[in-house]
Amino acid sequence: MAQPTIAAIATAPGRGGVAVIRISGPDAFAVAREVAGELPEPGRFRFRRLDVDDVLVLAFQAPNSYTGEDVVEIHTHGGEAAPRAVLERCFAAGARLAEKGEFTLRAFLNGKMDLSEAEAVIELVDAKTAKAAADARSRLQGERKARYLSLYHRALELGSEAEHSLDLDEGELPPGFMARLDAGVTALKAEVGAILARAHEGHILREGALVVLSGPPNSGKSSLMNALLGTSRAIVSDIPGTTRDSIEEYLDIGGYPVRLVDTAGLRDTADVVEREGVRRARELIAQADFVIDLTRNVHTKCDLGRVPGRLNVSAVTGEGLEELKAEILRNLKLLPGREATPSEREASLLGEALHQLEPTDDPVILANRLRDAGDALGRLTGSVYSDDLLAAVFSRFCVGK
């Protein structure tokens, strides 16, 4: 049964130079003709004058399109009125509104990309730094695909061998059969573990590293935050307890997104509001990827005098700020190399597989473990998938993508 033809505005709402209405499905060309008249040849464009706007029309014939279906894009001026009017005409011509991520879902179902690549689309859209975008781009280009498929097929092959051993008496097994099988499981486990080891870096690239400024009142936390940000974000005062709540700002350090948080000064206080700020500060310190402790590892007023054994920084002159940024990166426990990182979903599946890949002398247990490991590894690319899995992945997308 053919998929219905869908349409949506594929660009962000609001003021802008251009808005794009995307139409995809078996009747995309027919819908577009009713909206914009004669279409260009696939791969070309045509200007059309409509009563609502002057538009640019592009046509893509299946399978040479983003979704693998016939696709038409109608480019209008930005804003609300013109793109909305064109979209309404698409609906009147027989298209329905696309659901969240439905264009990319169709690309997956039509074999234009695997599930890991599809997931990389939203990560590229959400990337906060150039390094995060490059990581998503490498996955979108299929850097992980071949490796994930290899892991999946190796798990299936090992599982098939383990299942085969159940049909034979122990004396009928070839010499060294179980030893070779165990070696294969151990090698597969090591490769899964190596990929999973990069999950921490992937989490930082997507969510940002939590870096917390900690210290007593008047230790220079707010001044240091302003100096790192290059702007006066936090209030600086000689009065103790000025910062009563946490202040968070984004900072790019070496291509890694950092959530820099200034916290309330740590001290005993009778002030109810300040006491709550101190409680929140301690919570953030416990969760942090790195704590800039102004009582132990960083001295922020080296322009007034240096402290031996500490990283000496001046929030006034900027001395030591680059060294502090380098120290933050060193403490984020990043691995060397530029290999693409697994997503949060992939890390969870890799963890499931790793848990199952334990050698055992019991062939029944081994066969069951390999079956479960293969199922988890198959879900990395969508070689194995369910409707619930697809819904979980594509619900993160916006309408129009």
- H and E: helices and strands count for the chain: 14, 12
pLDDT digits (tens, 9 = 90+) for 172-229: 667 777 788 889 999 999 999 999 999 999 999 999 999 999 988 878 888 898 889 8
Q: Are residues 311 and 216 in the same domain?
A: yes
pLDDT at 239: 47
Q: Are residues 302 and 213 part of one domain? A: yes
Does residue 266 lie within any of the structural domains? yes
* 164-173 tens-digit pLDDT: 777 666 656 6
In a domain, residue 316? The reply is yes
104 part of a folded domain: no
Q: Does residue 271 sit in the same domain as residue 161?
A: no
Asked, for residue 395, whether it belongs to a domain, the answer is no
Cβ burial of 174 (10 Å; 0-12, 13-18, 19+) is exposed
> Could you tell me how far CA 279 lies from the centroid of its own chain?
31
For residue 47, what are the CA distances in angstroms to 79, 87, 88?
19, 17, 20
Give a yes or no: residue 106 inside a domain. no
d(CA 221, CA 137): 36
Residue 112 placed within a domain: no
Task: Show the domain range for 21.
Answer: 6-98
Are residue 146 and residue 212 in the same domain, yes or no? no
Residue 237: its pLDDT value, please?
A: 47
Number of domains in the chain: 3
Residues 325 and 351 in one domain: no
Q: Are residues 226 and 312 in the same domain?
A: yes
Considering the domain architecture, whether residues 318 and 296 belong to the same structural domain is answered as yes
Question: Do 143 and 89 fall into the same domain?
Answer: no
Do 184 and 287 fall into the same domain?
no
User: Helix, strand, coil: what percent of the chain each, to 5?
Assistant: 45, 15, 40
Residue at 163 is within a domain: yes
Residues 267 and 345 in one domain: no
Cα(228)–Cα(36) distance, integer angstroms: 52
Residue 1 lies in a domain: no
Kindly state whether residues 309 and 353 are assigned to the same domain: no
Question: What are the tens digits of pLDDT across the range 2-36?
Answer: 789 999 999 988 888 899 999 999 999 999 999 99
Question: Is the whole-model pTM more than 0.85?
Answer: no
